[in-house]
Chain A
Amino acid sequence: MKKQVYIYRSFERFWHWTQSILIFFLVATGFEIHGSFRFFGYENAVNYHNIAAYTFIVLIIFAIFWHFSTGEWKQYLPTLKNIRAQINFYLIGIFRNAPHPTKKSVLSKLNPLQKLVYLGLKVMVIPVMVISGLLYMFYRYPQKESIQSLNIDSLELIAYVHTLGAFILIAFIIAHLYLITTGETITSNIKAMITGYEELESHEENISSKSSEENETGKEV
């Protein structure tokens, strides 16, 4: 039996969608700064990119807080269990209407491949982008009456790292957008991320929703 389960909580959805808008915007303004095309105008692109970057950093701080306070960070602990099955599913099973090898539940929302990729984003790509971005902004900065600078001779390396990260993010977005359609139905993943609810196997859902409630109560005490 299947049942609607509240799987993505409101902050999680807010975080996800804000992040996605910001990343699209950062990519657009960033590649204009990079000289790939013209759209906003160079000065606007720079200013918008900086504002979006600060907004993103604020969002990241809240997201980190959220991950730890809710214990959601555990969702991203990598595991080798089921990884082969998951790869086989994407390479073969999906074409034969085989069932998803990883059962989704509130306690385990991510399949092992997702865990790996999202963890990679969280601890590698995003931090590298934030740090290289901050260095980009602050290798020179005005302060009071003078311009201060970090002891960095050239922007070259910073810019190269930042650009490389941007390319990787675009590749991720393309794959991510496509994989959204590989849920139970084509739209079930995106619906879940919009409404928070997804139709899951009731058997597991009962257990997980129960334990999640226990979790919550435990925290409140």
Chain B
Amino acid sequence: MKKIATVLVLIGFVITLAIVFLKPTEIIQSNVNLLKQKYNKEKQKSVDHAKLPPLQKNFSNPQEVTATCIACHTERHKEVMASNHWNWEREEYIEGRGIVYIGKKNAINNFCIGVEGNEQSCAKCHVGFGMTDQLKAYTNENNIDCLVCHDQTETYVKASEKGGAPDPNINLTKIAQNVGTPTRSNCGVCHFFGGGGNNVKHGDLEKSMFEPTKEIDVHMAVDGINMSCVACHTSENHMMLGRVYSLSSMNRNRSTCEQCHGEQPHESGILNEHTIKVACQTCHIPIYAKVNATKTDWNWSTAGDLRDGQPYHIEDEDGNHTYLSIKGSFTWGKNLQPEYIWFNGTADHYMLGDIVEDTTKPLKVNNLKGSYDDNESKITPVKIHRARQPFDPVNKMLIQPKLFSDKYGEGALWKDFDWKRASEIGMKDVNLPFSGEISFINTEMTWPINHMVSTKDKSVDCIECHTRKESRLAGLNDFYMPGRDYSEFIETFGKAIIFLTLIGVLSHLTVRIYSSKKLKKGAK
């Protein structure tokens, strides 16, 4: 009877084990495969603009094209003029400031600092023409640049420093007859070159993304699913999803991985649990600037050095400027590992005229908010661009200098190389005081990394974060992470009791051996 009971207990044990481990796994149609099917479908054109009568003429200027567009698309211009691509500021709520109107108009960055006084030049990447120094292009609907986004011929080019007007040599008729949904080249021509050169600003958006391989970006790969920018950055009435936190402040209208992949895309429950606190990008973008370097450091304080009275530049072996007389010294980086921050989708910004009291630590030009304790925050990969930029130590403000002019003697830094005069004119343009003194302070600008998603076999391995040495998350210390963190006290205490037990056991053993030998001798 005893044996039967034992056998029954054993059988029960085996059955329980079997139940625990052999529970049926649900077969789910892979979400990723459904998505691949969806985005592989080619869109059929419903209208061929080349056949439309109003477009069968020679356009003499771009405003004429826009007027023709509006003649049919009668309400679209209103949408564009309400969009972020058109406006140089927008309404945002920022904690501590309340409701503010913030945009390129009044925010400062730590690259070319700001647009004020440089509008003619900056307008090359504005969806409008006829930009004047006072941003007058706002009101005239015919100044909307439809073609820069909708051209399908890849021949539309905007001229430099012409207030946003296109190159006069392009064929406006041909382009107007070939319009459609924006392609990667439409977006990339501005967004890949932010900061005045390829990959200067973002680090994860650059010209290799025109035709990336799977290695570079699994979504946009020409050897893969070949998605366009607007596949994710969807739009309704010309309002695009997607925010860039150099200017945005609120957690809204973001283009997210989850909009396609859902909240829990992994098979493993443990990986899905990570999604509470870890952004998808953190694991799936192990490195950025995979092909071409991005600017990581900009020191304005060395600007102005001349050779024989002339500005000059120095390049590294990849052709990136490491010094420019007009801009100072740069550091570039390629195949960079992101830095990591807690980010909840909200940010504060340095706005023109803000007073900086503490200059001992770097000023955060944009301050992305978040912490472990905040339920909205996730660990997010970022590029941090560091700079030394001009500062008025008396008025305690960042300086907006006048940089650009096509003529000498107007006080533009890039022509006359006079910091004091450029600062004086620049600050006057934005109606802010300038003491006449210039110093340089360290600033940081944070750019969330969202693109250049790697294939899943390249995603960040557990051990790259869960490790004591050189953890990717070594800088985020407001929480306990297994594998990285431990209590110094418990570690010491634990090792001590193990050590003492060993010592106790070994000394007991030694005495035992010694005394047993003695006893044997005695017996003999």
CB within 8 Å of B: which residues of A?
9-11, 14, 33-35, 38, 41-43, 46-47, 51, 54-55, 58-59, 62, 65-66, 69, 90, 94-97, 140-142, 145-147, 149, 153-156, 159-160, 163-164, 166-168, 170-171, 174-175, 178, 216, 220
- State whether A159 and B508 are in contact (beta carbons under 8 Å apart), knowing that A164-B494, A171-B498 are contacts in the complex: no
A interface SS class: helix
Q: Which residues of B in the span 467-491 have a Cβ within 8 Å of any Cβ on A?
A: 467-468, 479-487, 490-491
Closest 8 CB pairs of A and B: A167-B494, A156-B480, A42-B462, A95-B515, A35-B483, A178-B505, A171-B501, A42-B463
Chain A residues in 8 Å Cβ range of B483: 33-35, 42
Chain B residues in 8 Å Cβ range of A146: 263-264
- State whether A164 and B493 are in contact (beta carbons under 8 Å apart), knowing that A42-B461, A66-B9 are contacts in the complex: yes
* Inter-subunit contact A58/B17 (CB<8 Å): yes
Q: What are 21 pairs between A and B in contact, CB < 8 Å?
A: A9-B2, A10-B3, A11-B10, A14-B10, A33-B466, A42-B466, A43-B461, A51-B21, A62-B13, A95-B515, A142-B269, A142-B273, A145-B263, A147-B264, A155-B481, A155-B482, A156-B485, A159-B485, A164-B494, A167-B498, A178-B508
Chain A residues in 8 Å Cβ range of B99: none
State in angstroms the CA–CA spacing of A54 and B19 once bound together.
Answer: 12
Chain B residues in 8 Å Cβ range of A14: 10
* Inter-subunit contact B466/A174 (CB<8 Å): no
- Number of residue pairs spanning A and B whose beta carbons lie under 8 angstroms apart: 132
Give the total of B residues in contact with A, Cβ under 8 Å: 56
Separation in Å of the B259 CB from the closest CB of chain A?
15
State in angstroms the CA–CA spacing of A47 and B461 once bound together.
Answer: 15
Q: Which residues of B in the span 494-508 have a Cβ within 8 Å of any Cβ on A?
A: 494-495, 497-498, 500-502, 504-505, 508
B interface SS class: helix
- State whether A170 and B498 are in contact (beta carbons under 8 Å apart), knowing that A46-B270, A164-B493 are contacts in the complex: yes
State in angstroms the CA–CA spacing of A62 and B263 once bound together.
Answer: 38
State in angstroms the CA–CA spacing of A59 and B12 once bound together.
Answer: 11
B72 interfacial by beta-carbon distance below 8 Å: no
B71 interfacial by beta-carbon distance below 8 Å: no
Chain B residues in 8 Å Cβ range of A141: 269, 273
State in angstroms the CA–CA spacing of A138 and B473 once bound together.
Answer: 23
Chain A residues in 8 Å Cβ range of B22: none
Closest to A138 in B: B273
B373 interfacial by beta-carbon distance below 8 Å: yes
Q: A41-B462, A96-B515 are in contact. List 11 more A-B contacts (CB 8 A).
A: A34-B482, A42-B467, A66-B9, A69-B5, A95-B516, A96-B519, A166-B494, A167-B498, A175-B501, A175-B504, A178-B508
* Inter-subunit contact B276/A160 (CB<8 Å): no
- State whether A62 and B9 are in contact (beta carbons under 8 Å apart), knowing that A9-B2, A216-B2 are contacts in the complex: yes
Question: Which residue of B270, B486, B508 contacts A35 across the interface (Cβ within 8 Å)?
Answer: B486
